Structure 1
Amino acid sequence: MRAMEQMRDSGLGFMKMHGLGNDFVVLDGRVREIDVTPALAQAIGHRNFGVGFDQLALIEARGAGDAHLTFYNSDGSTSAACGNATRCIAAYLMDESGRDSLTLTTDRGELAAVRGEGGLVSVNMGPPQLDWQDIPLAHEMDTLELPIEGAPTATGMGNPHCTFFVEDAEAVDLPSFGAKHEHHPLYPQRTNVQVAHVVGPDHLRMRVWERGVGVTLASGSSSCATAVAAARRGLTGRKVQIDLDGGTLWIDWRDDGVWMTGRTAHVFDGVLTQAWLEANT
């Protein structure tokens, strides 16, 4: 029986999780094969007619690590990286296995995750991509200061980022600013957009517009990209605190990659009904 037919016969279970308000629907494909199409991701992601999420994550029993993760944005597009979802799922899998560390694979590569004190979970998001071709940008240029008003910094974290350092991140009209720059012609695959200002030594305030989603309360890969950009520009060191709309993340750019640490929450479990799946697939 095809995976979609199985869903219609028995419904489709899911978990709702969030990292600092950056929220996710998580499907466990280790239980049975799940065919996630762009249309299904869009339907689940609708906050009025579905469940609602910033990203959808699919867990599968494949790859070299303990599990493989695939990420979908609320517009149905895919993303190679989603740091907060990775931390949430790592916490769930560590609870399941009784372990305090594991390795997950994504289209970004292998990501190590560890449990810390006080309910914190850390994930190594891998080395940043700093060359224009790897981010990617449309043509060769200096990624430290792009030829865009505001001279933002470009960084790749498995997905593209454009970071603006401003006087006051709170004062930016992020919905219009983010939508405008997501589709900038220098970014052929579109981009996540961050606005940030320096609060103090190794302390940043950041707000984020996510590619394919819009304004979100937090973003792990955006936080990593902003920390890398700030260190490259001499605004901070390589270990920083980043305050987002939904809470705080701690980023540490080490020799082995960019480590991100913060809290996670597994909010509830649910089932998408047979009738809903038939109407939306």
Structure 2
Amino acid sequence: MIKFYKFHGTGNDFIMLDGRELLTIPTPDEIRQLCHRQMGIGADGLIIVKPVEGFDFEMIYFNADGSLATMCGNGARCAVAFGYISGMSGSDITFKAGDGGHSGTLQPLTDYKWMVEISMGNISIPDHTGESTEIHTGTPHLVIITRDPDSVNVPVEGRRIRYSEPYQTSGINVNFLSIRDNRLKVRTYEKGVEDETLSCGTGVTACAAVAAMKTGVNNWIIETRGGILEVRLKKNETIFDNVRLKGPAAMVFCGEFTGSFPR
């Protein structure tokens, strides 16, 4: 039997595994089975958290389709909470992700909920921005400005764009963004999940950067279908730096499953 923990960050949900208890990493097939909504635990992704030299811990993130990803903002916030309750870190955290080193801070709200803020990587300012902007925030995103994201059929339109000729092979996350009264509203289609998710941390960060280029405002409150997130950043000539993502992370349950790993 293998113990797991189920977390979510504003509705973006993850299976969390303690890497100290694993002898090997689950295969893509096993990850797909565990993340399956009907025949598994169900999640947008799976995260392994384990100690690593030079940091409090390392997070290894897999999409629901079993593919390895470099960074997940909401997943990282949940990993910070898991590192805290598992004794790998305190309330001030450093961690390693696929895109490099990050820091984080944590404030307990209840026994099972925390407010978590993390550093995100620097963001290169794209050469072209308009109603549609490609931008990389640890993973590639396409940000489309629209009057009302709720009027968009995100699963259908997002899938159409993600599998269109420019993105069919490598994939892209598609965000539908509205900017109104210094507040953003975002809905996201995520590659690797191949559906809309209730929230996407790298996605809201991408949208905040695009909104900053449009308006000059660097601090944003962002409404997602799963809750409220905050992004702060600083614009320089070619990059955004001091990028911070903040929002709640919660553990919803834990349990055990049978599986073919560890082997």
Q: TM-score, normalised by structure 1?
A: 0.83
Partner of 1:134: none
Partner of 2:249: 264
Mapped contact 2:185–2:224 kept (Cα < 8 A): yes
Mapped contact 1:65–1:104 kept (Cα < 8 A): yes
Q: For 1:30, what is the secondary structure of its paired residue?
A: helix
Select the residue among 32, 38, 44 that pairs with 1:42. Answer: 32
- In structure 2, the CA distance between the partners of 1:38 and 1:157, relative to structure 1 (3 Å rule), is same
Mapped contact 1:121–1:262 kept (Cα < 8 A): yes
The answer to whether the aligner puts 1:94 opposite 2:84 as a matched pair is yes
- In structure 2, the CA distance between the partners of 1:239 and 1:116, relative to structure 1 (3 Å rule), is farther
- What residue identity is the alignment partner of 1:189? S
Deviations 1:170-223 (Å, cap 9, x if unpaired)?
10111111101112333352111100111312x101111111111111111101
- In structure 2, the CA distance between the partners of 1:43 and 1:157, relative to structure 1 (3 Å rule), is same
Partner of 1:247: 227
Alignment of 1:208-219 (within 5 A): 208-213=188-193, 214-219=195-200
Partner of 1:110: 101
Partner of 1:127: 122
Structure-2 separation of matches of 1:157 and 1:206: 15
Mapped contact 1:154–1:162 kept (Cα < 8 A): yes
- 1:93, CA displacement in angstroms? 1.7
Structure-2 separation of matches of 1:129 and 1:40: 35
Alignment of 1:149-164 (within 5 A): 151-164=131-144
Mapped contact 2:117–2:244 kept (Cα < 8 A): yes
- What residue identity is the alignment partner of 1:66? D
Q: Which deviates more, 249-258 or 11-20?
A: 249-258
Q: For 1:66, what is the secondary structure of its paired residue?
A: strand
Mapped contact 2:58–2:96 kept (Cα < 8 A): yes
- In structure 2, the CA distance between the partners of 1:99 and 1:62, relative to structure 1 (3 Å rule), is closer
- In structure 2, the CA distance between the partners of 1:63 and 1:164, relative to structure 1 (3 Å rule), is farther
Mapped contact 1:114–1:121 kept (Cα < 8 A): yes
Q: What is the RMSD of the two structures over their aligned residues, measured on CA atoms?
A: 2.0
Mapped contact 1:130–1:154 kept (Cα < 8 A): no
Q: For 2:30, what is the secondary structure of its paired residue?
A: helix
The answer to whether the aligner puts 1:54 opposite 2:44 as a matched pair is yes
Structure-2 separation of matches of 1:124 and 1:237: 19
Alignment of 1:228-247 (within 5 A): 228-234=209-215, 237-247=217-227
Mapped contact 2:123–2:241 kept (Cα < 8 A): no
Identify the structure with the greater helix proportion.
Answer: 1
- 1:61, CA displacement in angstroms? 2.1
- 1:116, CA displacement in angstroms? 4.2
- What residue identity is the alignment partner of 2:135? T
Q: For 2:222, what is the secondary structure of its paired residue?
A: strand
Partner of 1:28: 18
Identify the structure with the greater strand proportion.
Answer: 2
- What residue identity is the alignment partner of 2:173? N
Partner of 1:3: none
- In structure 2, the CA distance between the partners of 1:60 and 1:230, relative to structure 1 (3 Å rule), is same
Q: Percent identity?
A: 29
Report which of the two structures shows the higher radius of gyration computed on alpha carbons: 1
- In structure 2, the CA distance between the partners of 1:168 and 1:43, relative to structure 1 (3 Å rule), is same
Mapped contact 2:162–2:172 kept (Cα < 8 A): yes
- The unaligned stretches of length 5 or more in structure 2 are 235-239
Mapped contact 2:48–2:61 kept (Cα < 8 A): yes
- What residue identity is the alignment partner of 2:244? W
